[in-house]
Amino acid sequence: MVAEGAPSALFASVESLDEVIHQKVRLGIMSALMASQEADFRFLKETLNVTDGNLSIHLTKLEDAGYLLSRKEFVRKKPHTTYTPTDAGRKAFHEYLGALERIVQAAGQGA
Protein backbone atom coordinates (compact mmCIF):
# COMPACT_ATOMS: atom_id res chain seq x y z
CA MET A 1 0.00 0.00 0.00
CA VAL A 2 1.35 3.44 -0.94
CA ALA A 3 1.25 6.19 1.67
CA GLU A 4 -1.21 9.00 1.01
CA GLY A 5 0.53 11.84 -0.81
CA ALA A 6 3.74 9.88 -1.47
CA PRO A 7 3.45 9.93 -5.29
CA SER A 8 2.76 13.66 -5.37
CA ALA A 9 5.62 14.37 -2.93
CA LEU A 10 7.93 12.23 -5.05
CA PHE A 11 6.88 13.98 -8.26
CA ALA A 12 7.27 17.43 -6.70
CA SER A 13 10.75 16.53 -5.47
CA VAL A 14 11.82 15.15 -8.85
CA GLU A 15 10.47 18.27 -10.56
CA SER A 16 12.47 20.48 -8.18
CA LEU A 17 15.84 19.00 -9.22
CA ASP A 18 18.07 21.71 -10.68
CA GLU A 19 18.58 20.78 -14.33
CA VAL A 20 21.90 22.61 -14.47
CA ILE A 21 23.37 20.44 -11.70
CA HIS A 22 21.43 17.25 -12.52
CA GLN A 23 23.96 15.92 -15.02
CA LYS A 24 26.79 13.52 -14.18
CA VAL A 25 29.78 15.73 -15.03
CA ARG A 26 28.26 18.94 -13.62
CA LEU A 27 27.25 17.14 -10.43
CA GLY A 28 30.84 15.89 -10.16
CA ILE A 29 32.21 19.39 -10.68
CA MET A 30 29.94 20.90 -8.05
CA SER A 31 30.65 18.07 -5.61
CA ALA A 32 34.41 18.53 -6.02
CA LEU A 33 34.13 22.29 -5.57
CA MET A 34 31.91 21.97 -2.51
CA ALA A 35 34.39 19.54 -0.94
CA SER A 36 37.53 21.56 -1.69
CA GLN A 37 36.12 25.10 -2.22
CA GLU A 38 38.54 25.53 -5.14
CA ALA A 39 39.87 23.34 -7.92
CA ASP A 40 41.84 23.86 -11.07
CA PHE A 41 40.99 22.58 -14.54
CA ARG A 42 43.56 19.80 -14.47
CA PHE A 43 42.35 18.46 -11.11
CA LEU A 44 38.74 18.40 -12.30
CA LYS A 45 39.69 16.77 -15.59
CA GLU A 46 41.66 14.00 -13.89
CA THR A 47 39.17 13.51 -11.07
CA LEU A 48 36.17 13.26 -13.37
CA ASN A 49 38.04 11.42 -16.15
CA VAL A 50 36.71 13.65 -18.94
CA THR A 51 38.24 15.32 -21.97
CA ASP A 52 39.27 18.98 -22.06
CA GLY A 53 36.40 19.83 -24.39
CA ASN A 54 33.77 17.99 -22.38
CA LEU A 55 34.90 19.59 -19.14
CA SER A 56 35.02 23.06 -20.73
CA ILE A 57 31.43 22.77 -21.94
CA HIS A 58 30.15 21.77 -18.50
CA LEU A 59 32.20 24.41 -16.68
CA THR A 60 30.81 27.06 -19.03
CA LYS A 61 27.25 25.88 -18.36
CA LEU A 62 27.82 26.17 -14.59
CA GLU A 63 29.53 29.54 -14.96
CA ASP A 64 26.71 30.86 -17.17
CA ALA A 65 24.22 29.78 -14.49
CA GLY A 66 26.20 31.80 -11.93
CA TYR A 67 27.18 28.69 -9.94
CA LEU A 68 30.94 29.10 -10.21
CA LEU A 69 33.62 31.65 -10.89
CA SER A 70 36.78 31.12 -12.88
CA ARG A 71 40.10 32.81 -12.27
CA LYS A 72 42.55 32.71 -15.16
CA GLU A 73 46.25 33.40 -14.73
CA PHE A 74 49.57 32.28 -16.11
CA VAL A 75 51.84 30.03 -14.09
CA ARG A 76 55.31 29.56 -15.58
CA LYS A 77 53.98 30.98 -18.87
CA LYS A 78 51.18 28.41 -19.02
CA PRO A 79 47.49 29.20 -18.60
CA HIS A 80 46.06 28.08 -15.27
CA THR A 81 42.34 28.30 -14.50
CA THR A 82 40.92 27.85 -11.02
CA TYR A 83 37.24 27.48 -10.19
CA THR A 84 35.34 28.32 -7.01
CA PRO A 85 31.64 27.95 -6.22
CA THR A 86 29.62 31.15 -5.85
CA ASP A 87 27.12 31.73 -3.07
CA ALA A 88 24.38 30.98 -5.61
CA GLY A 89 26.18 27.77 -6.57
CA ARG A 90 26.47 26.67 -2.95
CA LYS A 91 22.79 27.42 -2.37
CA ALA A 92 21.75 25.55 -5.54
CA PHE A 93 23.89 22.55 -4.58
CA HIS A 94 22.40 22.37 -1.07
CA GLU A 95 18.88 22.70 -2.51
CA TYR A 96 19.71 19.93 -4.99
CA LEU A 97 20.83 17.64 -2.16
CA GLY A 98 17.66 18.51 -0.24
CA ALA A 99 15.55 17.52 -3.25
CA LEU A 100 17.42 14.20 -3.48
CA GLU A 101 16.77 13.57 0.21
CA ARG A 102 13.05 14.24 -0.29
CA ILE A 103 13.01 11.82 -3.24
CA VAL A 104 14.63 9.10 -1.15
CA GLN A 105 12.15 9.70 1.68
CA ALA A 106 9.11 9.72 -0.63
CA ALA A 107 10.30 6.62 -2.48
CA GLY A 108 10.93 4.87 0.84
CA GLN A 109 7.33 5.47 1.90
CA GLY A 110 6.18 3.32 -0.99
CA ALA A 111 8.36 0.37 0.01
- Spell out the domain ranges in the chain: 19-99
State pLDDT tens for residues 64-105: 999 999 999 998 888 899 999 999 999 999 999 999 998 888
Average pLDDT of the chain is: 90
Query: What fold is seen in the domain 19-99?
Result: Arc Repressor Mutant, subunit A (1.10.10)
62, 20 Cβ separation under 8 angstroms: yes
Percentage with pLDDT > 90 across the chain: 71
Q: What is the mean pLDDT of residues 26-45?
A: 97
Mean pLDDT, rounded, for 25-46: 97
